Every structure is written in structure tokens, then in C-alpha cells.
Structure 1
Amino acid sequence: MLPLLVAPALVLPAAPAVAQTTLRIGIGADPAVLDPAQSGSFVERVVFAAMCDKLIDVGPDLQFRPELATAWEWAPDGRALTLTLREGARFQDGAPIDAAAVKANLDRYRTARESRRRTELQQVSAVETPDARTVRLVLSEPFAPLLSVLSDRAGMMLSPAVLPMAERVGENPVCSGPFMLTRRIAQDRIEMQKFAGHWNAANIHADRLVFQPIPDNNVRLLNLRAGQLDLIERVAPVDLPSVKRDQRLRLVAGDSIAYQTLSINVGNGPLAQRPLGADPRVREAFERSIDRGIINQVALEGRFAANNQPEAPGTTYHFADLAPPPRDPARARALLREAGHERVAFTLKVPNQPVESQVAQIIQAMAAEGGFDISIETLESGAMVAATRRGDYEAAIAIWSGRPDPDGNISFWLASNGFLNWGKYANSRVDALFTQARQVTDTARRQALYREAATIWMADRPHLMLYHHRWFWAMRSGVEGFVPSPDGIIRFAGLRVGR
């Protein structure tokens, strides 16, 4: 047996330990799926912002800005968009983000069976790759919202190596963002590690990132105060004064393009045949039994904006003359009698979050005076999405985080092929108006088209928009570099964690 040789010890000065910084974020729900192709909830977009870069991003001013594409140019006839890709960008497995990889992702989004992005990209007839840094999207018709589409999940790039997993991509989403997924414990946490090879790694200042889903606003805030979290999203309006008084915390408020809506099942399976879904007079009676201003004052401390439209009041595509009818319980009861009902009962599905639950309770109380008996059912985010997609609902409250282009704030809910048209609303004239509005860029022309569409769907009432949000985040005083965005998504470049 050979003797074990031990080299003489070489004494060197100890290198200073470099502390690993961890950013811990409390989010309002547990994501259902970590695959941009299959995603359908707001909280998933929050997580994707850390994990998956997009071709184009949206700035705080709602203007498009470069991300994986550094430049873009429309063809003169509006039937093609050419993208120039960022040089040297790589996926988290080291593969280059080149034109072939972008084509593979876009082709999956627009054709794969599991993709919910197909309707968003239906105008894209081909994806061409003239060279490694150039991608050309050929369109069957002009499509004004395309940049907005590419600034969301349809523009998120995953490594081609994982795309063959199809429906199972979310189990191992190797992506292109500043953080790599390392572990997920359902309903508990999502852990990520900084991707050192990211093109913007120098501006990413946290080594680790942990998302913790905590549906209860009070529990999220308590965890922040206890030092278990560094930043939380969606602070409840009722908690704003106490956060402002706490010198250990900082409150950041921001304008929002997000809104809350109440979706009604008018055509998706047997539950659509019940009175609320089957008869527009019943839906009118329901709207006349509620008051959006009261909801805002009582549940939201008057901090949000009562609204019956997908665009915020005062913005380009909001139509002030299309105001909601005033609350009139007597008229509501008369409408029910005209429809053959003394009272109408239905179940309202609500996300398992305190604010939405309180909103539902206020609606329940107001509608009772108009002849409605509402049962409230609370569901986790994933269960809510699954139930509404299969038509297992009569009415459901949902949030939409908003998009820069008006098409992205309405057509996905109400177009016959909209990817979130849970209630299967179908109106050929509304479809035609949405199609025309996508093909023009002139603001006045688009306004006229969206206004005509609004007069139709507001009478049909497959959705009752309730209010526009205002975003509120709270963070420890040591967190620096946070910049609010109207879409409610956290951008991680420049964000620092101090102790």
C-alpha cells in the first residue's frame, strides 16, 4: 500500500467572504404553470419577468424598448416586421439566442396544440431568418398590436432544447432572463439563481431570488414587517396608512393599466343556460343592482378608479359618454320580472384574496336588493383558471394587468377566438370591428371602431368591468432601485437589496 503523501501547507491570507444577497418577494398567488405558451394568469407574468426575457419590453412610460431585439422596422405596407437581435445574448443553458431559436419559439407559440398564444399570433403567416441576427415576421394582413404582443408572453424566449417537452415545458423552463429556476415547491416558494451569462448581468444585483405565494394581503405584510420578505406586491388599500407610518418600510405607488372585471358565462356549457348567462335582461338587471363607486369607496378606500371599460378614464380609448347605468334596484327587479323571474341565484367565483373577497361581498349585498341571491366561492389562482376555461362557472372576478395597445385590453376576452374568452361570447359584428381596428394605425379610426364595438358588447354584457387599479408595493427601507411600472410587473435591472 502506497503511503499517503501530504503536501506542505501553504499559508495564504484569507480571502474576504462575499456575502450572497437574496431578494425575497411576496406575491399574491401561486403560478399555475411556468410556461409562457400555456400561461393565463397575472402572477405568472410577475415570475416570468425574472426568468424569461422578451423580444421587446415596455417602459414605465408605456413605450416599447429593446430587450432581446435591439431594433425593429415595419414594412411599408405593414405586412412584415423585421427584428434585429441582441448580439451575444444566450439562454441559461449557454445556447445562443439567434434567429433560429427565435423562430422555433414563435412557431411553437403560433402553432403548438398546447399554446394559448395562437390567437395572439394568428396574423403571422411565416417566420423568416435571413441571417443569424435577423428575424422577419410575415403577416397575412396589417396587425398594429404586434409589438404589444411581442412585449408579453408571445415574445418570451426559451431554449430550443426544452421546446420538444411540449405540455411539460413548465417543469423545466430553461429561459433567457436574468434568473434561472433552481427549485419550486408548489404553494410555498419558487427559487432562482442569478444567471451570470445574462447580457445585462452587470445590472442584476441579487444573487438569489425567492418568490413566496401568499394570497392573504395581511399575512404578506406581516412577513415583510417581520423581515421574512424584502418586497411585496399589491398592498391592500386599507393597509396603506400603516405602511406609510412604519419607518422600516417604504411604500411605492404607481399608475396602473390593470383592471378588475366580472366575466359571465354566456355560452360555455350547461352553466351558460342558467338565467344569468342565457338572458341579457338578467345581466342588465345585475348591472343595475350594483354601484361601482360604492365598491371603490368601501372595499378599496377610494384609491382606485370605478370604471366600466377596459381603458382607464381619461385615456385615448376610454369613451366617457358610454358610462354605466346608475344603480336602480327597482328597475333591476322589474327587468327580472320581464324575464320571468322573481329572484335569480348564481355562484360568483372569486380569487382567494381578501380584497377580491370583500368586493364580492359588497356586490352580493347590493345585488340582493335587485333580486339576486349570490353565493361566493373562493378559489386559488390555478383552480380559478382551470374552472373558467372548462366552463365550470356562472360568473367570476378576474384581474387583467393591462397592455399598451387597446386590442390587448379587450379582444382576448370578447373575440370569438380570444384566448381568455372563458364564457364563449360570440358576436360577428364585434369580431369584425376588432379585426378592422387591428389593421389600422390611425388613432381616430381605431377610436371609432372600438367605440362601436363597445356599444354592442356593453349591451350584451358578457363582462362587467368594475374598476381600474392603482399599484402599491411595499419594501424594506434597504431595497433600492425599484421603479414602478403601469403593468404591475417588477423589473429587476438596478434593483438592490441592502441589510
Structure 2
Amino acid sequence: MASSRPFAFKVSMAAAAIGIALLSATALRAAEPKQGGSLSISLESDLPTLDPLGFASFNDREAGLILYDTLLDIDPKGNVVPNIAEKIEASPDVMSFKLTLRSGVTFSDGTAYDAAAVVKNFQRIMDPKNRCRCVSDLSTIDKIEATGPLEVSIKMKTPSAHFPATLADVAGMVVSPTAVEKYGADFGNHGVGAGPFKLKEWQRGAQVVFDRNPTYWRKPAHLDEVVLRPMPDEQTRYASLKAGNLDIVMNAAARDVLDAQQQKRFQVLNPGSLATNFVQINMGAPDVSDIRVRQALAYSLDRVAYNKAINRGLYKIANTPFGTGLFPHEQVDGYPSYDLAKAKKLVQDYGKPIKIKLSINAAPVSTLAAQALQQMWKKAGIETEIIPLEQVQLVRAAATRDYQVMLYRWAGGADPDKNVHQFFHSKGTVNRVNFNNPEMDKLLDAGRATTDQAERLKIYRQVNNLLAKELPYLFLTYFDNISLVNPAVKGLTPIPDGLLRLHSVWKDK
């Protein structure tokens, strides 16, 4: 690895997106932190597992940060930065990498967090029988080995510019090998990592309680505990915050954000966006397998009216899978705009009745959104049946392609690759839309083959153009991960992925 160099990867975060944040990191750190207390955070649904192998949603990833932390992290400007791995070096051709771990880090069960543990974790993720949803991120790895007690060397099969950013996400959440051996298939109910907190209690459907990890590698957290509470109903979440029964509402409803801004009672944390809300289409399903039907669905969507009705106009209309914090944002030519006459003509040309089954999260706001879509499509002559599912069921249906059309979102990753490769490559492990296009495969592989941002921008613009042509997604709005926060909560820093880093958070009692 003598030719390797420090890897610097930056997501260009728009200044305006950072400027939206009403929560100033500088102001939050001004007071002296106080020790103790419990922090209560709402989730949109219960967790399916505490094992990163099964993480798929925004909620899962938040729990993962609490329990495991990550090898690398993202800073407020979108840079991938050191974390438990104090350094990552890349060869000029991004065909090999070297991780250097911090000395003295342990998992909460006392197991050493060393190179051997990291190698075992990668092997576990990459084992096909474990079916990790993040395995697509690591599909280019050829060989991984411990080349020193705290040094991990990785050789790639193909160039992998995306790789460092994956280590700031689920693939960088390393589990205790001792705990995996101890619990086996039941590890998902225990979840032992090296994060700032460790599992105390999990009452399914009610709450997950985490205690401070006294051996956390930075220094023990200020808080005594963190409680995650699944609350599918948005009104209940905001009411609980106002009543003092919650400290943080993540992914707050637009009406609640606007109310909080007006009342100035709560802190509004808006770190910007890495991705989108969209309608995803199973291209192998009846009717929607025909491009004319997908085009009709797209042209009949008045997304400006939709955004006003569902989001009070708060969010930005999306035309790409890349949020405001990613450099290919809005780099697209010819995404379909609202044209009802054209939609009706496409339906007429198709020549058969079109009946859509739209799967959604059972939450009230999703029902309203689905009804808005239903009404718009009906104007074009398309009938829609709304199928509400609990969040865990929805994610499962998406993963197994057991749907026709689905209202969905993706919170995004720190590299553009995270928003497209795993979803649209023919071999992508979460290719939920049955997308199989050799031109797309070639583009996505090319995006991983260079670190030159100008070249990558050209590539991802072509990706955007192909998505606009084939329409596996109907983009709605960019996904802003806005949290509403009790003013007593201090020490939060806005990070573009919207996830909360709680190691430095404290409460002013």
C-alpha cells in the first residue's frame, strides 16, 4: 500500500441547506454540558432488528448509530471524515484501501475493537447466506485482511470511489464478534457494538431503552439513557413533544415544522437533504411494465399542487434521486413535467384499462398523499386502489418486490453511488423496481471508477437522464430530515444524512 494516499471525499453541501438550520451548533456548545438525564426520541415504526444485517430504514440506521457508531462519519458540510477508523488511505486508482483503527477501542462487552474484529464483520456482511441489505456497497471487495493489529487492508475487484462513504453508513457499523458467537441467530435481539450507548431493554412496539456505554471510545456520553419510542401517527408525536413526553420528533410533518417555526417553542433542526420521496414502480408488474403507463403516471402528477396539499409547500420538488447536499442534484434533462393532456393521450394509446395498486405506509399523512395521487391519476383515466401496510410490512414488500406501485422514500448516503447503484444496477441487492438496463449498469460502474468530481457529475447526469426516460421512480419532493427538538436538549449538530449523533448531547435540566 505504499502508493496509497489519504482519501478526501466531499459531498458539496449547498450553503443554503445549511443556512436553513435554525439550530446553531456554536450556540448549542456555548453552555457547560450537564451530566445525566434521559432523552426520548420518536420513531415512525418499531425496529425489526438490532442487527445491521437487517437494517433498511432511517429508523434502523438511527438505532445503529446509537449502538455501533461507524468506522467513518460525515461532518456538517458533508465530508466523509475519520471516526473509529482514524485514517483511510486509497490507492490512486481506488483499487485498494487501508484503514487504520484507533487504539484502545472496545465493544461494550469488553471485546477488543481491532483489525480482526473488523475483518470478521466484513466477512459476515459479505456472506451471501446472511443476506445483508448493504452487501451491494461491498460488492467490489476482492480481499480483506488484517495487516496489523489496528490495520485493515482491502483490495478491490474494480475501482471503488464510493467505498469510503459506505463506511459512514450501515457497512461501517461493526458488531462484537464475541456477541455474534454467543447469541448466534438471536443476535438481532441483543445488538452489541461500540457506540455511545448499549441496549438495556426492548419492549416490542413500545420502546427501546439504551444505557450509557461507560467504555465509549471518545468519552462516556453525558446522558444516562436514550429511549426510542415507535409512534406511527404524526399528530401523536407532535402532541407528545408539546406535552413534554418526548424530547425529539424525527422526520417531523410539514405542518408541525411550520407550527414550530411560528410558535418558536422548539428548536428546528434541518440539515438539508441527501435524497428523495418518490413513487417506486415494480417494472415487472402488470400494466406498469409498459413505458406508456409509467409516462402517463408521471405526466398526470401535478407535483406543485401535491407539495402544497401534503407538505404545505415546505419541500423542494425533486427531479433526481440526489438531494440538495449531493453534487448531481437537479442535473437532469427532460424529467416529465405536469401535462394532463399528454397523460390522457398515453392512456388512450395503451388501449386497455389501467388499474394501479398503490402500497403505502398506513400512517395518516401517507394516506392523504396516496389519495392526492389517486385523484390526479384518475383525471388521466387511471384507477388506483390504495393498500395500507405497517412500516415493517411495507419495507418487506419492497424488498421482495411484492407490490405494483409504492409510495416510498430513501434518506440517502454521503456518496451519490449510495442513492443509485444498489437500487438500479441489475445486480443491486435492493433493486426493488426490477430495473435491468445494460446502459445503466455501465454508467453506475463508471461512477465507482473515478474520484474526479467533474467526470462523476457527467456520469450521474446521464444516470438522471436515463431514470427520467425509463421512470422506475416518479420523484415527488426532496427528503428533508427535519427534527423538532425540546429547547432543553443541547449539543446536537446538523448532519446532512439527518441522523442524530448523540455522544455529545446533553439536557439542561
Q: Which residue in 2 is equivalent to 1:175? A: 193
Q: Is the 8 A contact 1:256 1:485 kept in 2?
A: no
1:83 maps to what in 2?
A: 99
SS of residue matched to 2:125: helix
Instruction: State the 1:319 CA deviation.
Output: 4.4
Does residue 362 of structure 1 match 2:372?
Answer: yes
TM-score in terms of structure 2 length: 0.89
1:31–1:381 CA contact under 8 A, matched in 2: no
CA deviation map 1:320-357 (0-9, x unaligned)? 4524323222221221221122x411111112333333
Work out which of the residue numbers 252, 268, 274 in structure 2 matches 1:257.
274
Query: How many angstroms apart in 2 are the aligned matches of 1:134 and 1:444?
Result: 32
- Unpaired segments of 5 or more residues in structure 2? 1-33
Q: Which runs of 4+ in 1 moved over 6 A?
A: none
Q: What is the SS of the residue equivalent to 1:477?
A: coil
SS of residue in 2 equivalent to 1:158 = coil
Tell me, what secondary structure is at the counterpart of 2:457? helix
The alignment status of 1:40 with 2:56, answered yes or no, reads yes
Distance, in Å, in 1 between the alignment partners of 2:111 and 2:331 is 50
Kept in 2: contact 1:195–1:201 (CA 8 A)? no
2:413 to 383, 403, 414: 403
> 1:247: Cα distance to partner?
5.8
TM-score, scaled relative to structure 1: 0.91
Counterpart mapping for 1:22-421 below 5 A: 22-114=38-130, 115-164=132-181, 167-202=185-220, 204-246=221-263, 248-267=265-284, 272=285, 274-276=286-288, 278-312=289-323, 316-341=327-352, 343-421=353-431
Which protein is bigger by CA-based radius of gyration? 1
What's the CA shift for 1:284? 0.5
Q: 1:135 to 1:313 in 2, by over 3 A?
A: closer
Match for 1:24: what amino acid? S
**Which deviates more, 375-384 or 322-331?**
322-331
Letter in 1 for 2:219: A
Structure 1: segments with no counterpart, 5+ residues: 1-17
Secondary structure of the 1:119 match is helix
Cα displacement string for residues 365-421 of structure 1 (whole angstroms, at most 9, x for unaligned residues) = 111101111122222221011112222210111111111211111122111122221
| Residue of structure 2 equivalent to 1:13 | none
Whole-angstrom CA distance in 1 between matches of 2:134 and 2:337: 38
SS at match of 2:86: strand
> Deviation per CA, 1:423-474, whole angstroms, max 9, x where unpaired?
2211111111111111111122222222223332322211112110233221
Change beyond 3 A, Cα 1:181–1:140: same
Given residue 284 of structure 1, which amino acid in structure 2 is its aligned partner? Q
- Counting matched residue pairs gives 474
**Is the Cα contact below 8 Å between 2:326 and 2:416 reproduced in 1?**
no
C-alpha separation in 2, matches of 1:83 and 1:495: 28
Identity of aligned residues (%): 29
Residue number in structure 2 paired with 1:4:
none
Give the structure, 1 or 2, with the largest relative contact order (CA under 8 Å, sep 6 or more): 2
> Corresponding residue for 2:16?
none
In 2, distance between residues paired with 1:358 and 1:231?
Answer: 24
Structure 1 counterpart of 2:200, one-letter code: T
2:470 to 455, 460, 468: 460
